[in-house]
Amino acid sequence: MKAIVLNDYGGVEQLRFEDAPKPEPGFDDVVIRTRATGVNHCDTDVRRGLFGVMQRFPHVMGVDAAGEIETIGPGVTEFKPGDRVAPHFMLSCGVCKNCQRGVENICLKPDILGVTTWGTYAQFVKVRQNNVVRLPDGLSFDEAVAAQVPFATAWEGLISVAKLTVGETVLINAAGSGIGSAAIQVAKLAGARVIATVGSDEKFAKARELGADEVINYSTTDVPETVMCLTNGLGVEVALDMVGGARLLDAIAALAQGGRLASVGAHGGEKVLIDMIEFFRKHISLHGCGRSTKSIVSEVLALVADGKLKPVIFKRFPLAKASETHRLMESRNFFGRMVLQPWGTE
Ligand SMILES: [Zn+2]
């Protein structure tokens, strides 16, 4: 099969389009013909060797995909060749205490697709049957892959963890990111008022198109001060941050009394000095999350198929052009999701 094969860490020149052995299914594995692959920020960390988990070379990265089942192992009972599916990037063991409680997203013995196993930057990918999600009818592979990680992560953060409800106001950082643009739609669907932050004026209109009620440029405007003006001095009940650093501190300062903050990433600053006086006086809760359950993935994909959530696809690229997507990812000069097509445009 063709794949992007990593033989060492480094720049985009390490993303080589080469032949690699096609995976063979083990007893309870399915092999998926990958029709669409998502490009995620964490892929650039894997490429650079910064993910925090070292890879064995040669390595194939890629945490999400959508496609159809090509072959199955003899122990597979739930799926058959031809089924339209997506692998769940959080490869849970299926038997530990947390998996048994139905919170396989905090599995005690997890693998991560494309990080600890070969991933989806390839024409085929292998996962165990307990880590497969069915695609709803009418959902294209491109939409499925564009939706999966951002919408499921936004849903996990806003709805499952921060318990955002009708009538509340939410601050969403980095509305131009995949998770940010998904979070605006999830928050509107939940009936919330959305204040979004963006890093450049060009992203204003797009954030509004997605449903943001207010947009703040964090590079030119004081975010907490503006949020207080927009909320009669009360602040927001919920904030979602995926940036860390100064953006996380802005979000904490913008929270109302009893505010809930969900943090799903920290590429913009991993170490943050928090004023604990403000933290406990305001009764703030800070939740770490970022890996959704399979049931959340199924739920958001159904909402996408129903047209209630719309993934934003920035551009489609052939798999061989993966290096171009990483260059764009690192420039931040895009809005929405980049999708790789391992079998070309169909
Ligand atoms: Zn487990």
Q: What is the pLDDT of residues 177-194, one digit of tens each?
A: 889 999 999 999 999 999
Q: What is the pLDDT of residues 46-77, one digit of tens each?
A: 999 999 899 999 999 999 999 999 999 999 99
| Pair type for strands 29-38 and 337-341 | antiparallel
Integer Cα distance of 193 and 171 in angstroms: 9
How far apart are the CA of 106 and the centre of ligand 1, in A? 7
The neighbouring-strand residues paired with 103 are none
The stretch 113-138 carries a mean pLDDT of 97
- Do 232 and 222 touch, CB atoms closer than 8 A? no
pLDDT for 345:
60
Band (335; pLDDT cuts 50, 70, 90):
confident
How far apart are the CA of 100 and the centre of ligand 1, in A? 7
How far apart are the CA of 129 and the centre of ligand 1, in A? 14
pLDDT for 126:
98
Integer Cα distance of 104 and 73 in angstroms: 22
The stretch 33-55 carries a mean pLDDT of 94
With a cut of 50, say whether residue 20 has pLDDT above it: yes
DSSP H or E run through 304: helix 294-305
Classify domain 151-288 at the CATH topology level. Answer: Quinone Oxidoreductase; Chain A, domain 1 (3.90.180)
Q: What is the pLDDT of residues 102-124, one digit of tens each?
A: 999 999 999 999 999 999 999 99
Q: Exposure pattern of 104-115 as b/e (b: 16+ CB <10 Å)?
A: bbbbeebbbbbb
pLDDT for 68:
98
80-84: long-range contacts, CB 8 A cutoff, minimum separation 24? 83/134, 84/134, 84/135, 84/141
Integer Cα distance of 169 and 232 in angstroms: 12
How far apart are the CA of 101 and the centre of ligand 1, in A? 9
DSSP letter for 53, please.
S
The stretch 156-178 carries a mean pLDDT of 95
pLDDT for 332:
79
Integer Cα distance of 224 and 195 in angstroms: 11
Integer Cα distance of 173 and 200 in angstroms: 13
Integer Cα distance of 291 and 281 in angstroms: 30
| Pair type for strands 65-72 and 29-38 | antiparallel
Q: What is the SS3 string spanning 157-225?
A: HHHHHCCCCCCCEEEECCCCCHHHHHHHHHHHHCCCEEEEEECCHHHHHHHHHCCCCEEEECCCCCHHH
How far apart are the CA of 94 and the centre of ligand 1, in A? 5
CATH number for the domain running over 2-134+312-341: 3.90.180.10
With a cut of 70, say whether residue 236 has pLDDT above it: yes
- DSSP secondary structure string for all residues of 253-268: HHEEEEEEEEE---TT
Q: What is the pLDDT of residues 237-273, one digit of tens each?
A: 999 999 999 999 999 999 999 999 999 988 888 999 9
How far apart are the CA of 91 and the centre of ligand 1, in A? 8
How far apart are the CA of 149 and the centre of ligand 1, in A? 20
How far apart are the CA of 112 and the centre of ligand 1, in A? 12
With a cut of 60, say whether residue 43 has pLDDT above it: yes
How far apart are the CA of 192 and the centre of ligand 1, in A? 34
How far apart are the CA of 99 and the centre of ligand 1, in A? 4
Residue 141 exposed, middle or buried by CB count within 10 Å (0-12, 13-18, 19+): buried
How far apart are the CA of 14 and the centre of ligand 1, in A? 33
With a cut of 50, say whether residue 346 has pLDDT above it: no
User: How large a percentage of the chain has pLDDT more than 90?
Assistant: 88
How far apart are the CA of 215 and the centre of ligand 1, in A? 40
The stretch 170-181 carries a mean pLDDT of 91
- Do 170 and 237 touch, CB atoms closer than 8 A? yes
Give yes or no on whether 2-134+312-341 and 151-288 have one common fold: yes
How far apart are the CA of 104 and the centre of ligand 1, in A? 6
How far apart are the CA of 119 and the centre of ligand 1, in A? 19
User: How large a percentage of the chain has pLDDT more than 70?
Assistant: 99
How far apart are the CA of 108 and the centre of ligand 1, in A? 5
The stretch 209-237 carries a mean pLDDT of 97
How far apart are the CA of 26 and the centre of ligand 1, in A? 19
Domain boundaries, the chain: 2-134+312-341, 151-288
